[in-house]
Amino acid sequence: MSKKINIKILHIPPNKVKYCIYPSKFCDYTQFQLIKIHPHAGVDRGVFGEDPFGYVKINESNWDKKPGVLFTNLLEFKALRDHYIGKQNWKKSEFAKRNVNYIKKKNSVRGFTSFSKYLSVREKQIDHLFNSILQKGIYPNDFLKTNSKVNDNISLVLTKNNELYFNNRGHHRLSIAKILKLKEIPIKIVLAKSEQKLKEFYSLNK
């Protein structure tokens, strides 16, 4: 039986994360397997569930045969980038439109059931997040206030080639870190190809 390895918070340059996970049968689910109108299902990618007790999962299947979509091709990233450079307000982005359509189908997003109120409040929150990260950077988050040990930091997986792929938690933080060209950000590895690869990566990134 494999030894359980605790998730650690590491600090890496955001440009180390180039790709999302390829949406294969080896993943726990893919974005297109969820509700097609879900805001985050605009571009398909693979996702692995996180261990509820704070351990790194080991998956030796062929999930990392090839990379998925470039992170910078996600609608979430494009919306934030265009907003920051003044090309297009966030609330007019494709990603924002997906949120609106989702709410119109009698769903809620971040607790909002009114799409007009959501757009107004969310754009202000995004401006605040940009300003906060500009001034203070990105700090490791405390554990989620639940009974689990899963923590709300940018979620990544480690491939056989020591590449880090995005795992669907922390879209906005990683996007803003890339847009602002931060030197480093806190991340967690929730799944690795092998224990050996993980231990090597941990030892090189203390």
CA-based torsion, 133, 135, 140, 146: positive or negative: negative
- Contacts for 194 with CB less than 8 Å, ≥ 6 apart: 58, 60, 160
In terms of residue numbers, what domain contains 136? Answer: 9-204
Fill in the amino acid letter for 156.
L
| pLDDT tens column, 97-152 | 999 999 999 999 999 999 999 999 999 999 999 999 999 999 887 654 444 455 78
In a domain, 64, yes or no: yes
Structural domain contains residue 146: yes
Question: Looking at the domain assignment, is residue 4 inside a domain?
Answer: no
- Distances in Å between the Cα of 176 and the Cα atoms of 85, 137, 164 are 12, 10, 18
> Total structural domains in the chain?
1
Q: Return d(Cα 170, Cα 153) in angstroms, integer.
A: 7
Q: What are phi and psi of 128, to 5 degrees?
A: -65, -40
Whether 147 is covered by a domain: the verdict is yes
Residue 173 lies in a domain: yes
What is the percentage of the chain residues whose pLDDT exceeds 90? 84
Residue 54: pLDDT band by 50, 70, 90 thresholds?
confident
Q: What is the pLDDT of residue 2?
A: 55
For 137-190, how does the pLDDT look when each residue is reduced to its tens digit (9 = 90+)?
A: 998 876 544 444 557 899 999 999 999 999 999 999 999 999 999 999 999 999
